[in-house]
Structure 1
Amino acid sequence: MQLSITNIKMLFDKLTESVTYTAITNECDTSITTVLRYCSIITIPKPRTLPTVIGIDEFKGNAKGYQCQVNLTNPDTHEILDILPKRDTQELIR
């Protein structure tokens, strides 16, 4: 079942807030699987320059067969710079 354009917009608006997937599913009247599927199509453009300090945060997920992913952020602006599919030194260097 596909979401309506209104529900998709609400889902992405909720993703910008600090809420859980469960809270989003309750407000959008959908499943966590659907929320995760729509989240997987989000692309993050690569920054031209990196900030002086990079925040690294690990979170549980299931991307590309790995159980933990890592996001890289600019701690000053809270902007997500990249999401890595696994916590691996070579992946971080790339």
Structure 2
Amino acid sequence: MADPSPPSNQAAACSPLEQEVLDEYALLLTNLNKLSTVLSSLAERPTAEVLDGLRMLERKTSLVCTLLKASVYSIVLQQQIYGGGEGDGQGQG
């Protein structure tokens, strides 16, 4: 038979580990409620507005990617120049 004591008495008799698990579940519930609110607001917005926001994010992401590639290329080029141009076949002479 199940424990006949009411839930409030059970909460008072929790071990520290059980209380920690309950606290984590409460935090999870709070985060899921926030996520639900955000998703509801996104669902209410027009699709065109969401797509415009995603396009802007895509442009910014591609800009960051391009800048990263240029930085890596610059570092490799500097290493080749200062390292004597090993293996590039376009050294002096």
Same fold (TM over 0.5): no
Q: Higher helix fraction: Structure 1 or Structure 2?
A: 2
More strand by share: 1
Structure-1-length-normalised TM-score: 0.20
Higher relative contact order (CA 8 A, sep 6+): 1
Instruction: Using structure 2 for the length normalisation, give the TM-score.
Output: 0.20
